[in-house]
Structure 1
Amino acid sequence: MPYEATKPMLAPTADELRERIPGWGADSAPEHRRTWQQRDDIGDTGAHWTLPDRQPGGEERERSIEHGMLPPVFGTAQPLHGLSGAIRRFAYDNLSETKNTRWLLLVVGDRVESVGAHLRSLATRHPDNPITQTGVLAESRHRPVSSRFGRGRLDVRHTWMDPIIVAGPWIAAVFLGVRIIRRVFGRR
């Protein structure tokens, strides 16, 4: 809208908006909220506590330095362990939630954990299979060209990187494994 000498039309008042738009102002003053009257009728909730009983074992759990305590209930299924756990614990214990460094360290911890999981899978009888588990074979069977081009898909821009990202760590692991084996058996 270009600038004009005349005074622009002012925004409608709250009363005009409330009349015109059903539910407008739900976050305004409490007396204008539709559920405000219901809040007085909550009555007895049946809770026997002000703060719920705390779950035991929270002394060693990670928490942000901004929070004084853990919530009353928290997950314990994935305790921190190994190098990835040390990276994550450092991020939780030393950095604020507002710091990008903290979040980058948490992402690095996730990547270290995934590399460790790939390496552990190589030591099992059934290692991960990057060819079948990434869907590379399914790509060729389900209209690979027509499903990618002419439809405005954004992932086409980084398709060239996918083989590097998926196969790169596997190729590096095989290369390092071969070098280690050659050094061990080459000295004998």
Structure 2
Amino acid sequence: MPYTQDKPPLPESSDQLRARIPGWGADLDPHDRPSVPRERFDPGATGAHWDFPDRQPELHPRERSVEHAQLTPVFGTSAPLHGLSGSLRRLAYARYSEARAAHWLILIAADRVDAAGSHVRSVFSAHPDNPLTETGIRAELTHHGYASRAGSRRVDVRHQPADVLVVGLPWVLAVGGSALVVRSLVRRLR
């Protein structure tokens, strides 16, 4: 059981392991191991006065990997799951092991969905995002961005054309889509 002060019992005895695994237990003799004084198991020396820590109440369901039987005694609650990105995260944790690529790819997709949702929400807020300053396009023009990389052997020069697509294209598509929506609304109102 996790989070207890006692060491879990070995599933097999030392003699059974030594018979089954060649070389097992080669470092059991304390005289052969220089770190033995530091490895003394003394639960009283830690100052822990509990056998199992008090659990934080789980007010809302939390994502938990399928590898773990329970949540850790304390967990973060500052950013609860919400919307489509929260549904994707729940799917990743409920269905796939952390050892699977699908788990991590779904979490990356959830991050992208959350970022897109934040951009959409910022359009309708009092302080919308400014893509010229926040993506670094303005700094490229005013602080010799390209000149600092031209003729050098920097690695980021290779993916510079892709940066324009990855960073700039979503903004161009969003502005173009918004213009089409506004245009169709104006035509309907006439």
TM-score, structure 1 normalization: 0.76
Partner of 1:109: 110
Partner of 1:91: 92
Quick one: distance in 2 between partners of 1:166 and 1:55? 40
Partner of 1:163: 164
Quick one: distance in 2 between partners of 1:185 and 1:167? 27
Partner of 2:27: 29
Check 1:161–1:84 CA distance in 2 against 1; reply closer, same or farther (3 A cut).
same
What code does the residue aligned with 2:34 have? R
Contact kept, 8 Å, 1:58 with 1:70, in 2: the verdict is: no
Report the count of equivalent residues: 161
Quick one: distance in 1 between partners of 2:176 and 2:144? 34
Quick one: distance in 1 between partners of 2:33 and 2:154? 43
The 5-angstrom pairing of residues 50-65 of structure 1 reads 50-57=51-58, 60-65=61-66
Check 1:150–1:58 CA distance in 2 against 1; reply closer, same or farther (3 A cut).
farther
Contact kept, 8 Å, 2:56 with 2:75, in 1: the verdict is: yes
Identity, % of aligned positions: 46
TM-score, structure 2 normalization: 0.75
Q: Which runs of 5+ in 2 are unaligned?
A: 1-25
Bigger helix fraction: 2
Partner of 2:71: 70
Q: Which runs of 5+ in 1 are unaligned?
A: 1-27
User: Do residues 122 (structure 1) and 141 (structure 2) align?
Assistant: no
Partner of 1:5: none
Quick one: distance in 1 between partners of 2:92 and 2:46? 39
User: Do residues 177 (structure 1) and 178 (structure 2) align?
Assistant: yes
By relative contact order (CA 8 Å, sep 6+), the higher-ranking structure is 2
What code does the residue aligned with 1:29 have? D
RMSD of equivalent CA atoms? 2.1
Quick one: distance in 1 between partners of 2:52 and 2:121? 43
